[in-house]
Each structure stands twice: as C-alpha cells, then as structure tokens.
Amino acid sequence: MNAATAHEQTFTQWLNDHGAILRQLSRVHAPEPVDAEELYQEMMVQLWRSVPRFAEQAQASTWIYRVCLNTGLTWQRTTRRREARVVPQAESVEAAPSDEQDPADRQERGDLMAALMQAVRSLPPGQRSLIVLALDGLSYREIAEITGMTENNVGVALTRARQNLTEKMKGISHEL
C-alpha cells in the first residue's frame, strides 16, 4: 500500500469513526450555522494535514480531539469581528429523533441542549475545552493527555469549570 492510499485510509477511518466529534466541536466554537460549517471544513483540512504526523502510540480519538480543539481555539480569532456584528441567537435545537416519541420529551430535551450549548459557549475558551471533554465522558487521564495538564490540575480546573457552567445554566434556564 503506498503512502497516499494509507493517508486516505487513515483519514477515512477517523472521519467514519469520530466524525461526530468534529460536528459537535464546530458547533461549540461557532454559534452561527454558516460559521460552524466553515469551522467543520477547517477541522477536516487540519485533520487531513495531520495524518502524516500521527504516531500510532497515541489513540486516534486523543489525536482528533487535540487537532480539532486547537483548530477551534485558533479559528475564533479570525471570526471575532464577524461575531461582534452578529448577535448569536438563542439556539433552537431540534431534539434528536430517538426511541422517545413523545413530542413534549423531545421539546424538553431540545430546550435543555440549546441551554447547555449556550452555557458552554459562554465559558472562557480554556474552560470550554475542558468542559467539552468532560461532557464527552473522558477520564481525567485522557483530558490531561489532550490538554497537556497534570491530572491534578485537570481536577482543579474542571471543578471550577463545572461550577461556572452550573451558574451559567441557571441564568440561561431562567431566560428560556
């Protein structure tokens, strides 16, 4: 198998296995759908470019989180001016179709997700990255590996970030 084919295969597998991470992270960093799509494309390009540097000793998901979170942190700077013009709208999130068919349940879940997304976005970028990883269910060790922090520091910073998120959630829930 030549290098180009191996490159394509690795990328394809990453996208097929973990593509949803890119979608959700792009929505976290970019409130407007058009911006989220642009960021999603950017994350894909950076991921593609990162394939030759991927060392097998790292887990693919850890690598993908690193590339995408770094892209998100850098990308915000270039769009700040646009964000200043466009006031992010309170998001209406269509609840995911699932086993629960009750429209009231779906609406409730949609409202909760909209509030949560808004609260996460309003966190400072560093805390935002940490809280996203925690919400994804990653362990302290995995978060430490992605962020470069010690596990102890992850614990301390996450406690602060969780408190911050809870406060923001209270405020947003009252608004909704």
The site for other proteins (CB under 8 A) is made up of 8, 11-12, 15-16, 19-24, 41, 44-50, 53-54, 58, 63, 66-67, 69-70, 73-74, 77, 93, 96-98, 109, 112-113, 116, 124-127, 129-130, 134-137, 145-150, 152-154, 156-157, 162, 165-166, 169
Residue 144 C-beta: closest distance to other proteins, Å: 9
Locate all alpha helices (DSSP H) within the chain, ordered by sequence: 3-29, 33-50, 60-85, 103-121, 125-135, 140-147, 151-175
Residue 6 C-beta: closest distance to other proteins, Å: 13
Nearer to other proteins, 87 or 137 (CB): 137
Using a 10 angstrom Cβ sphere, with 0-12 exposed, 13-18 middle and 19 or more buried, the burial of residue 81 is exposed
The gap from C-alpha 49 to its chain's centroid, in whole angstroms, comes to 20
Residue 46 C-beta: closest distance to other proteins, Å: 5
Residue 15 C-beta: closest distance to other proteins, Å: 4
Largest CA distance in the chain: 57
Please check whether residue 36 is in contact with residue 30, taking contact to mean a CB–CB distance below 8 angstroms.
yes
DSSP state of 94: P
Residue 17 C-beta: closest distance to other proteins, Å: 9
Backbone angles phi, psi at 34, to 5 degrees: -65, -35
Nearer to other proteins, 32 or 70 (CB): 70
CA–CA gap between residue 73 and residue 82 (Å, rounded):
16
